[in-house]
Amino acid sequence: MKIRRLVFALISLCMAHPASSLAQTEKPVSAAAAPPKILLLVHQQFKFGSESARQKLAAGIARACNRLDAPNSWIDLQSMTGPPEVLSFDPFDSFEQVHNSYVAWPQLFRSHPELARMQEQIRALETSESTIIAVRRDDLGYRVDDIDLSRARFLRVLEVRLRPGYESDFVDAFKLLSAAYEKIEADMPWVVYQANVGMPAPSFLVFVPMGALKENDALLSRAPKLREAEGEAGVDRMQQVARDAYASTESNLYAISPETSHVTKEIADGDPDFWSPKTAADARPPATLGTSAAPPPKDKGAKQE
């Protein structure tokens, strides 16, 4: 039963989306809206009852950074399953860019004390925090070029921690899964990252963007076709990998919060009504902020390696 659950978790995370999924777009996906090469993830948990205060502060930081020249962007994800937490999804092109961002944030905080004060207030509400840096594995994703983050509203995230020495088995299993999806011509892209620092090695993270939760309704109806496409040998191989290679797996669902995200202009332009809704606060000038500040990569723009 344990093996079945592990295989089902892998399959269910990546189930085919219906024709209305975010992969169905009439225009090419902008490179700026594609999954990044380097991903900095920050898991944060907060004191019970502090959700509203944290949301207000994070939204204030995001609004300020939308007006300023922030060194990096982030998508704020709020958990719908698993422990209550916030997951910051911060895209980078290289480790050099991560370093430049790390150096820039403290300087900007010194220039903009109001921004720094809001960040310190958020930190005071935290009960735990962990940071991961992961690198995209293009050999393991499925139709990654079809992923448009500007149209995503939810993310399913699968964390797979392997036993040492079993990375090649995991790679084999995902290639079998990708081949099966190609056979049924499934329109459900996913992207895979390998943890570089911040998690026990080897560990992988699989992200499936969704435009709507109803896309999960295809799960049960598509499962038989998928298993048929895998074939008996493929199913046996995936079960063997689950039995031998996996130390643990966990799949969770997150909702994207545009109010507390600070995204690039390219992503915002992909759906301005979602990412940049006009509010009363937008009509007012910032209170004590200058013209070029933002938080570091650790909480919604204030994170550090």
pLDDT in tens, 173-224: 888 888 888 887 777 899 999 999 999 999 999 999 999 887 777 655 666 6
Q: 36-75 burial, b if ≥16 CB within 10 A, otherwise e?
A: bebbbbbbbbbeeeeeeebbebbbbbbbbbbbbebbbbbb
CA 160 from chain centre, in angstroms, equals 15
For residue 286, what pLDDT is reported? 46
Torsion of CA 94, 95, 100, 104, to 10 degrees: 110
Tokens representing residue 54 in the block: 């944290």
Query: Would residue 281 count as lying in a domain?
Result: no
CATH number for the domain that contains residue 255: 3.30.70.100
What is the pLDDT, as a whole number, of residue 28?
A: 60
The pLDDT of residue 15:
41
Taking 70 as the threshold, does the pLDDT of residue 21 lie above it? no
pLDDT given for residue 3 in this prediction: 38
Position 69 in a domain: yes
Dist. CA 168–CA 171, nearest whole Å? 5
Query: Is residue 142 domain-resident?
Result: yes
- Residue 232 in any domain: the answer is yes
Domain that holds residue 35: 2-270
Q: Quickly list H helices, the chain.
A: 2-13, 51-67, 95-111, 113-125, 167-183, 219-244, 265-270, 272-275
Give domain status of residue 297, yes or no: no
Residue 243 resides in a domain? yes
Q: Report yes or no: 181 and 165 within 8 Å, Cβ to Cβ.
A: no
Q: Is residue 221 part of a domain?
A: yes
The model's pTM: 0.81
- How many structural domains are present in the chain? 1
Give me the torsion for CA of 121, 126, 130, 136, rounded to 10°. Answer: -60
Average confidence (pLDDT) over 22-29: 52
Q: Do 148 and 22 contact (CB within 8 A), yes or no?
A: yes
Assigned domain for 202 exists: yes
Query: In 3D, which of 125, 131, 154 has the Cα closest to residue 57?
Result: 125
| Residue 5 scores a pLDDT above 50 | no
Rounded CA-CA distance 251/13 in Å is: 7
pLDDT of 242 over the 60 cut: yes
- Quote the tokens at residue 251: 């799949």
Q: 290 or 244: whose pLDDT is higher? A: 244
